[in-house]
Amino acid sequence: MAAMQRHWDIFCRVIDNYGDIGVCWRLARQLVAEHDLAVRLWLDDPASLQALAPDLLIDRPTQRVAGVEIVHWTDDFAVDRVADVVIEAFACELPAAYIAAMAAASPKPYWINLEYLTAESWAESCHGMASPHPSQPLVKHFYFPGFTPATGGLLREMDLLARRDAEVSNRPPGEALEISLFCYDTAPVGELLDILAASPTPVSCLVPPGKPLAAVSAHLGGAGPWQLGQLRVQPIPFLAQDDYDRLLWRCAINFVRGEDSFVRAQWAGQAFVWQIYRQDEKAHLVKLEAFLERYTAGLDTATKAAAIALFRAWNTGQGLAAAWPDFLAKRAQLAEYNRLWAAELAGAADLAAGLVKFCSPKV
């Protein structure tokens, strides 16, 4: 790679829980580890990263973790230098002083707005779109993650699937059906727990802190762990990203939410259920249907119906009891299909590699 692109700045505002920072932290680590880049990650709330990066010291204005320079983005932001590539994650709005410094730089940096993931077809036509700044000699490009070669791809480390397969092959089978539960507090958690409690065979439900555990505690009372018939509900600590990946590989069914865990569940090759972030006027359900249409296209009729029914029930709070038995009965077929789905997605360039290529000098 040319020296002019060695320095990258990623700006991230923590909007909701761990979704935004989860994506940015994975991206930053991969750019350093696989592309030998010097990456600064600017965060307005470094404490939110500590759960994902336990080595982080939240009282330091700047530090280095996993090769990434992490800087506390404060209101008194001062520009020391402008990077060769600047990523504005999820339209977080760069500081005005930094934009002015970008405009004064020569050559001008590549300016990328990293967008949220969507399976909607319009993302293909918007991916890579240029947006000239209204008053500065700068051009920002919109970069859309996605599920097709016409988009920016998905975050995936080069050895991810090989690591997954090696770990899964060495794990002895467990006696209980293991389920990971990562959700928003709007999910029908209580109804799910009641359904699982009536299981005729052992079930282990692993619940991280935050909104998932709060929803479980609100329904069951106390702080757990809980035993309800054949169901064991076990609180677990919040996991660093690599450990969370291993949890997804281990569990037979993964309930995930937002963007980061959603993508990682697809790489896991296990049955999963996605809760999309709720939006006004039910706009999120349009995005959910766009994904379901794309994701289930290769499934047989019965398995497709089972997957769609549970995804919809989990996101609307309606029909969960009716949808669960069919989904549970099809979990083996879904796991097999999801491994094929992951392999198909892995045939395209990953998001980090795509960004590096997109920002390479145009000859």
Structure tokens at 158: 């080069």
Distance CA 12, CA 276 (A): 20
Q: Which of 9, 259, 260, 350 is catalytic?
A: 259
Q: Under a CB-based contact definition with an 8 Å cutoff, are residues 148 and 158 in contact?
A: no
What percent of the chain is helix, strand and coil (3-state, nearest 5)?
Answer: 40, 20, 40
Handedness of CA 295, 300, 301, 307 (dihedral sign): negative
Q: Is 259 a catalytic residue?
A: yes
Among the listed residues 138, 135, 89, the one whose alpha carbon sits nearest the alpha carbon of residue 114: 89
Q: Which residue has the tokens 């090696």?
A: 166
> Can you tell me whether residue 65 is helix, strand or coil?
strand
Q: Which residue has the tokens 């890579």?
A: 128
Distance CA 13, CA 290 (A): 27
Q: What is the DSSP string of 183-221?
A: --TTS-HHHHHHHHHT-SS-EEEEE-TTHHHHHHHHHH-
Residues in the chain: 363
Q: Which of 20, 157, 260, 350 is catalytic?
A: 20
The secondary structure of residue 209, as a DSSP letter, is T
| Cα distance between the two ends of the chain | 13
Q: Under a CB-based contact definition with an 8 Å cutoff, are residues 248 and 229 in contact?
A: no
The set of catalytic residues is 20, 259
